[in-house]
Amino acid sequence: MSTLLLRLAAPMQSWGADSKFNWRRTERAPTKSGVVGLIAAALGRRRNESIEDLQALRFGVRADKEGKLLCDYHIAKNPEDPKKTYVTYRYYLSDAVFLVGLEGNLELLRQIEYALNNPVFPLYLGRRSCPPYGRLCLGIRVDKPLEQALKEERLQTSALTKHGHSETSLRIILDADNSHPSFYLLRDMPISFDQSHRRFGFRRVYETTLPAVAGDSNPAASVPTEHDAMSELEG
């Protein structure tokens, strides 16, 4: 199997797996539903189109820079009664950098790679207020399984501390199969993005860590992508 690698970095990201009513929470790492949604947008798929091929991709995340949790506090007017207000809480990850891996069929990975570099719809990291910064698609690591690709890729942040790297160890979250001895459930498996009936299921995941190696960062990671998905909106 081969693995497609993505670099998800932005001033703010938000990856909700458990958001209800006026509370819009975020996980501490990108969700599979959020990344599949980003890829579907790049491919130009409508919300009611099938995503079965994207569901089947094995998914993993390496947290190169964990970022800080940020709460955006809102007081808004009630549209049904302008004299009344209500409060909303929207959570984001500030200044985080993640390496995401997608393992699967090489032909499909090549289609996704092209789409991410030439997206049909604008791309966001969880919410529309969170466009990606810098290089998004790092390319395909042919014949490298997911875990190996995530462990061997260079750090994707140049925001180094005096110790030479942004984290002392890197957290890695991976899809787990039924035989894995230690896993937990996360409700971020996309079943349908149809706005009339969005559906999400549970997936098994497990975590491991990798030492952060000083001097192995990638200063070129912040080079902007050649395409600008928002250029058509400029007048």
Q: Note whether residue 154 is domain-resident.
A: yes
- Return the residue matching tokens 């599949």: 36
Angle, vertex CA 209, rays to CA 155 and CA 19, nearest 5: 90
Span between the terminal Cα atoms of the chain, in Å:
44
CATH number at residue 27: 3.30.70.2660
Q: Note whether residue 234 is domain-resident.
A: no
Tens digits of per-residue pLDDT, 37-82?
Answer: 999 999 999 999 999 999 999 999 999 999 999 998 878 777 788 7
In this predicted structure, what is the pLDDT of residue 82? 76
Per the confidence metrics, is the pTM higher than 0.85? no
The count of domains in the chain is 1
Tens digits of per-residue pLDDT, 113-138?
Answer: 999 999 999 999 999 999 999 999 99
Based on DSSP, count helices (H) and strands (E) in the chain, helices before strands: 4, 9
Q: Is 198's pLDDT higher than 90? A: no
d(Cα 4, Cα 137) in Å, to the nearest integer? 8
Q: Note whether residue 235 is domain-resident.
A: no
* Residue 145 banded pLDDT, cuts 50, 70, 90: very high
Q: Note whether residue 231 is domain-resident.
A: no
Q: Note whether residue 195 is domain-resident.
A: yes
Strands (E), 105-215: 137-141, 169-175, 184-192, 199-211
**Domain that residue 130 falls in:** 2-226
Give me the residues paired with residue 81 across strands: 78
Q: Note whether residue 232 is domain-resident.
A: no
